[in-house]
Structure 1
Amino acid sequence: MDDSWLITHARQTGDRYYDPGERLLRLPPNGNSVHTALDDMWVHPFRQSAAYALAVLESRTGGPAAEVLRRVARAQDADPTSPTYGVWSYVAEEPLAQMRRPDLNWADFIGHELLHVAVRHRDALPADVLDEVHGAIHRAATAIRRRDVHVAYTNIAAKGTFVTLAAGELLADDELLAYGRDRMERFFAEIDHRGIHEYNSPTYWLVTCAAMTAILRYVADARSRELACILHDRLWTHLVSRWHAATGQFGGPMSRAYASDLADNLPLHAYVAQATGYRAPFDALPDIGSRQPYHAIGLASAVVLRPEPPPAVVAALIGPGVIDERRELFETGAPDVVGTTWLGPAATLGSVSHADSWFQRRNLLCFWRSDDGPLWQNPVSYARLRVTKDDHDFVSGVFSSVQSGPHALWHVGLASPGGDRHVVRDEITGPTRLRSLRVSIEFGRLADPVVTVGGRVAGPSEGFTLDDEVAVRSGDVTVVLRFSGAEFGGRPAGSEPPRGRIRVDDAGRLLVDLDLLDAPEPVDVDLSRAGAVWAAGTVTVVEHVDDAATNAPTPRARLERLTDDCVRLTWTPGRRLDLRARTAVGTTQDHAATYQGLVDGVPITRERAEARG
């Protein structure tokens, strides 16, 4: 496998879906329902079509690149008075005015694709097509400058910085170039002083790192290149610090993830493989032909950048792996956001100190391999913690944790006001209807799992109490769960909710649920007046070598009520872990002010080394 093979794969995938009548690709639905109502039908998307045009040009074997580019350029909003000037709709079937919410990021994403084309293939395009591409780039860059997103919006801040810098130089637009330079300074200062807001995101790390790489490849401005080089190396170091060679995964926690398993993330998988020079274990990408076409078509956009990470990063990716614990300050704030990742011989466990419970979060995440065989050939087993309302991830859940090695102590509270499904778009400020509210440890892709409750084998639909130890074994790893306490509206755990149960959902995932509310019909609840709503527990990952456990399960954590609104959990599975968290429903600021995590009496926010053994 090499660069040309990936470009050929992208081109051939696009060829299969090309619709000459529309001069665009026609692709199956991808399930995005936030911005578009057309989430269940075949459509003609503009971003993937622009990426296909690049793949056609890179393949240098002829094809409809010019026709596609002319179609894409003309689909952009070109009205300077429009709030979506310089932006594209997702698909030809749904104009901007008909979208649920136009995605202003499309100026950044499609602008990036068109810059690849304009810089690399200006001589291969008819002059009139190149003029239209240049016009679309200028409108996209102008839209980015007008919008001026906060630089904490990591991936869009990075991509828009590249687009405005490159557009300013390409089009000799001094105003755009000056804006891009200023934004590069601000973006660098944000990461240098505050940290990475979108920490360890499989999807958006790639967007951010690719933008810095594109600046190094295409932008001439010396100061911008200097800052981009520093961030480029820092981003690679950030990613690889959680590389777990035994599973072939980047361990948790993850701020934003659509697919946690590297085998399900073809763009990142291919980018990392290219960065290693396609050396083992990245010398093959199993089942690449069955991966999602949206991902395959976009491969050329990353391949043309030819990433060159620091040598130490490449050595870590192709080496035998390490057994270690990594603790990293992701972002300063109130409180600081700290990630801890344990890299064991067979499994990895990661957790974040404090976060909401949006569906993209992987606040507590464990990986291990239940089957032998080549990496990524068989799905990796996982466990992760979720907070759900009526079976969808509930943003208002407030997760807190402290971790040492394979042991994590966690707590979940509830924020009000807070989001329902999305972090900014559907805030709940008053009474809401709900049927269920639960904290779940979700297990997926297991191989012949054995579940025990209190030491006895248990099956689906079996209940458990907070006094019971629940253990799930698959392959040579057992994940041991204990629950330390729970309340809903001041009602403690018992025969009625809050209560525990084991179930298997329609997707075949095993869930160890702690039901805080489980009503037969939806009920109206004012969460701001619900009083105490919380749950807490521990997770221990046990690795088995020659059928002997590498570490032993530990007793339940001790719970101490400090006030009516606050508890402290203490657990000593090895090092002493202390976690202070809010039990009463409160604002996100209330929860943040209460949080404290200690390891052996020391706040984890003071342990700022990249790694400790």
Structure 2
Amino acid sequence: MNLREQVESQEPNFNPELNLLGGVFNSPGYHSRIPSGTWVHSTRTNIYYALALLELGDEAYRDRAAAVIRNILALQVTDPYDPAFGIWPWNCEEPVPMMAPPDWNWADFIGAALCHMLKEHRDRLGDGLTAEITAALERAAWSIFRRNVRPGYTNIAIMGAAVTGCAGEVLNNPLLSEYAARRLETFLAYTEEQGGLNEYNSPTYSFVALHETERILQLVGGNRRLIDAARKLHAFIWGELAKQFHPATGQLGGPQSRAYAEYLSANTVAFLSEAAGVPIRRAVPEAKEAGLLSFTYDGVRHLPCPEELRGRFAAVAEPEREIVQRFVRRSDPAMNFIGTTYVTPELIFGSINRECFWTQRRPMLGYWPAGEGRPAMFRMRFLKDGLDFSSAGIRIAQSKNRAVFAVSMLTDRGDWHIGLGRPADGAFGFSKLALRFELAADCAELIDGHILAAGAFRAVIHGLPGSFAGNPVRWQGGRDADRVWVEAVLYEGPEKRLVFDEALKTVAGGGVEILPAEAAAASAGPVLLEDGRMYRVRWGELEVSQSAFACTYD
């Protein structure tokens, strides 16, 4: 669908009285109090809708674009003494003071659209609106400058450099231009020193990061340092994507630090296919994509994949390979975050050595073909009353198609969100806690209560005896509407409240192996060894050690 078709498809959603585009809100469960399913007017969607109207250039669209822009600009926090100075709310129905809490990233997201307007469409704005947009961009740029996110916050670190770099040129402000160049150079050096992107293998933010380098190269004209850093980063991110992409399934492999869906979106697959110049399998039909409002224009003109990497999106050349990569470097090497991904032409299976179970994390993840339908997706989760639970942690050791794992509770994480929802007294309420292994596929089967099978492969779960808060862990299998699962139930019963502190003991571990459907499972499984306040899970040469008592994430 081209840009004109996208704009025209949204006509039923445009309210001419409000001069805003509406849509159904899909809440992630944080920042906003608005319930999912509510009809809202998204600031981000509307500012890019206005940008698209300007891009089309029709005289009839100019007045509409101006009205939409003014409506969105009016929602920015303009008081310089307010900590939220320069940002916008997610939705017009919920001003910044009503959010829970506000999202400072909206200075970046909305500011980027304003950059396009001032750089590419100034002649279609008029002097008055140009002045209003310029003032709003300046406030957003200083919000980004004041916040100064760490380089580990991948997509916002790059997007903020794009916005401040463009603002520096628009405002003729050398300080913002210098800041933008230094910010991206620092990010590039930091990423090289870390070993990879801290937000590793993200099917969302790897592409956001890539597109933000393209935004810099599209909008910034004279800041040579910023442009040079963007070019280097563009090539680096393509290399990371090529390394983790699996052509047979059309998916990015695990582990993944930040993901909103289990399969790459149709839009992402279309971008990859066009940029790499190869056909790529699509797992999710366009009509079935869930998430934010359907208008997704971002103003960026995409650049092609580097020529030397294109073959990696067409086929896996080697019979097998194992990628071991550090993503986060700590002063204590034992606390580094190291990913292991096993790749064959038909299978990609990966894990991270240490993580939590925030809903956006995929600490163990695998894909393989499963007939004509979507690829099989194998995933490890930790659930509290059926929802992903951030205050559980995992240690994993992997070699090729086999891994061992050990769980511990965390004393410094949130509930559904990694940084939100932790009770002041540290006591969480729940009626069920479970470590779950899921296999989603149209032909998924549960075999003998501990084997998850689909197509040419199966995941064999070797669960070990364990305990949680003095009670035994129970292993069980089951089926949901679109998947089968095996889980270790740590607790199930009447709702209880339990303090997650250093006195809470958890021992829950085992092993996983991904095997061809006809292959026999290992005759000797993993073993568990308790050692004071620690416990170990060992399986041949593989071993992982974990605290038996709740501990901090970092």
TM-score with structure 2 setting the length = 0.92
Distance 2:266 2:82 in 1: 36
Letter in 1 for 2:295: I
User: Does structure 2 retain, via aligned residues, the 8 Å contact 1:409–1:579?
Assistant: yes
Offset, 1:223: 1.3
CA RMSD of aligned residues (A): 2.3
Quote the residue 2:15 is aligned against: 19
Q: Deviations over 1:212-234 (max 9, x none)?
A: 22222222211111222222211
Q: 2:436 aligns with which of 429, 434, 440?
A: 440
Query: Is residue 489 from structure 1 mapped to residue 469 from structure 2 by the alignment?
Result: yes
Letter in 2 for 1:499: R
Letter in 2 for 1:569: V
Distance 1:293 1:21 in 2: 26
User: Does structure 1 retain, via aligned residues, the 8 Å contact 2:257–2:363?
Assistant: yes
User: Does structure 2 retain, via aligned residues, the 8 Å contact 1:49–1:68?
Assistant: yes
Quote the residue 1:216 is aligned against: 217
TM-score with structure 1 setting the length = 0.83
Offset, 1:55: 2.1
**Per the alignment, in what secondary structure is the counterpart of residue 81 of structure 1?**
coil
Query: Is residue 560 from structure 1 mapped to residue 540 from structure 2 by the alignment?
Result: no
Query: Is residue 197 from structure 1 mapped to residue 177 from structure 2 by the alignment?
Result: no
1:92-107 mapped onto 2 (5 Å cutoff): 92-107=92-107
**Per the alignment, in what secondary structure is the counterpart of residue 390 of structure 2?**
coil
Quote the residue 1:592 is aligned against: none
Query: Is residue 510 from structure 1 mapped to residue 510 from structure 2 by the alignment?
Result: no
Offset, 1:144: 0.9
User: Does structure 2 retain, via aligned residues, the 8 Å contact 1:419–1:427?
Assistant: yes
Question: Measured at CA, do residues 390 and 543 of structure 1 come closer, stay the same or move farther in structure 2, by a change above 3 Å?
Answer: same
Quote the residue 2:457 is aligned against: 477
1:210-289 mapped onto 2 (5 Å cutoff): 210-219=211-220, 220-262=222-264, 265-277=265-277, 279-281=278-280, 287-289=285-287
**Per the alignment, in what secondary structure is the counterpart of residue 509 of structure 2?**
strand
Q: 1:326 aligns with which of 323, 328, 352?
A: 323
Offset, 1:128: 2.2
Q: Deviations over 1:320-361 (max 9, x none)?
A: 555422111112114111111112232221101111111110
Quote the residue 2:44 is aligned against: 47
Q: Deviations over 1:337-393 (max 9, x none)?
A: 111111223222110111111111000011122222xxxxx3322121111222221
Question: Measured at CA, do residues 191 and 569 of structure 1 come closer, stay the same or move farther in structure 2, by a change above 3 Å?
Answer: same
User: Does structure 2 retain, via aligned residues, the 8 Å contact 1:399–1:413?
Assistant: yes
Letter in 2 for 1:86: G
Letter in 1 for 2:322: E
Question: Measured at CA, do residues 316 and 12 of structure 1 come closer, stay the same or move farther in structure 2, by a change above 3 Å?
Answer: farther
Question: Measured at CA, do residues 289 and 100 of structure 1 come closer, stay the same or move farther in structure 2, by a change above 3 Å?
Answer: same
**Per the alignment, in what secondary structure is the counterpart of residue 500 of structure 1?**
strand
Residue segments in structure 2 that go unaligned for 5+ positions in a row: none
Which structure 1 residue ranges, 4+ long, deviate > 4 Å from structure 2?
Answer: none
1:4-153 mapped onto 2 (5 Å cutoff): 5-40=1-36, 41-61=38-58, 62-63=60-61, 64-153=64-153
User: Does structure 1 retain, via aligned residues, the 8 Å contact 2:411–2:502?
Assistant: no
Q: Deviations over 1:139-162 (max 9, x none)?
A: 111111122222221211111111
User: Does structure 2 retain, via aligned residues, the 8 Å contact 1:251–1:365?
Assistant: yes
Letter in 2 for 1:483: G
**Per the alignment, in what secondary structure is the counterpart of residue 177 of structure 2?**
helix
Distance 1:487 1:286 in 2: 39
Letter in 1 for 2:232: I
Offset, 1:78: 2.0
User: Does structure 2 retain, via aligned residues, the 8 Å contact 1:400–1:412?
Assistant: yes
Q: Deviations over 1:19-46 (max 9, x none)?
A: 2211111101212331111123100111
Distance 2:261 2:403 in 1: 23
Letter in 1 for 2:171: L
Matched length: 543
Q: 2:310 aligns with which of 294, 301, 314?
A: 314
Question: Measured at CA, do residues 249 and 226 of structure 1 come closer, stay the same or move farther in structure 2, by a change above 3 Å?
Answer: same
Letter in 1 for 2:524: P
User: Does structure 2 retain, via aligned residues, the 8 Å contact 1:274–1:306?
Assistant: no
Distance 1:347 1:129 in 2: 54
Letter in 2 for 1:245: P
Distance 1:244 1:91 in 2: 37
Quote the residue 1:418 is aligned against: 413
User: Does structure 1 retain, via aligned residues, the 8 Å contact 2:263–2:284?
Assistant: no
Distance 1:107 1:178 in 2: 19
Question: Measured at CA, do residues 90 and 473 of structure 1 come closer, stay the same or move farther in structure 2, by a change above 3 Å?
Answer: same
Distance 1:293 1:44 in 2: 15
Distance 1:587 1:181 in 2: 35
User: Does structure 2 retain, via aligned residues, the 8 Å contact 1:10–1:52?
Assistant: no
Letter in 1 for 2:431: R
Question: Measured at CA, do residues 286 and 154 of structure 1 come closer, stay the same or move farther in structure 2, by a change above 3 Å?
Answer: closer
Q: Deviations over 1:495-542 (max 9, x none)?
A: xxx11112234x5432211111112x1123233255420211111111
Letter in 1 for 2:50: A
Question: Measured at CA, do residues 39 and 313 of structure 1 come closer, stay the same or move farther in structure 2, by a change above 3 Å?
Answer: farther
Residue segments in structure 1 that go unaligned for 5+ positions in a row: 373-377, 459-469, 590-613
Q: Deviations over 1:518-567 (max 9, x none)?
A: 12x112323325542021111111124xxx43x74442112233x21122
Give the % identical residues: 29
Question: Measured at CA, do residues 317 and 96 of structure 1 come closer, stay the same or move farther in structure 2, by a change above 3 Å?
Answer: same
**Per the alignment, in what secondary structure is the counterpart of residue 464 of structure 2?**
strand
Quote the residue 1:381 is aligned against: 376
**Which piece of structure 1 moves more, 284-293 or 250-259?**
284-293
Distance 2:291 2:447 in 1: 41
User: Does structure 2 retain, via aligned residues, the 8 Å contact 1:266–1:295?
Assistant: no
User: Does structure 1 retain, via aligned residues, the 8 Å contact 2:245–2:253?
Assistant: yes
Distance 1:532 1:292 in 2: 38
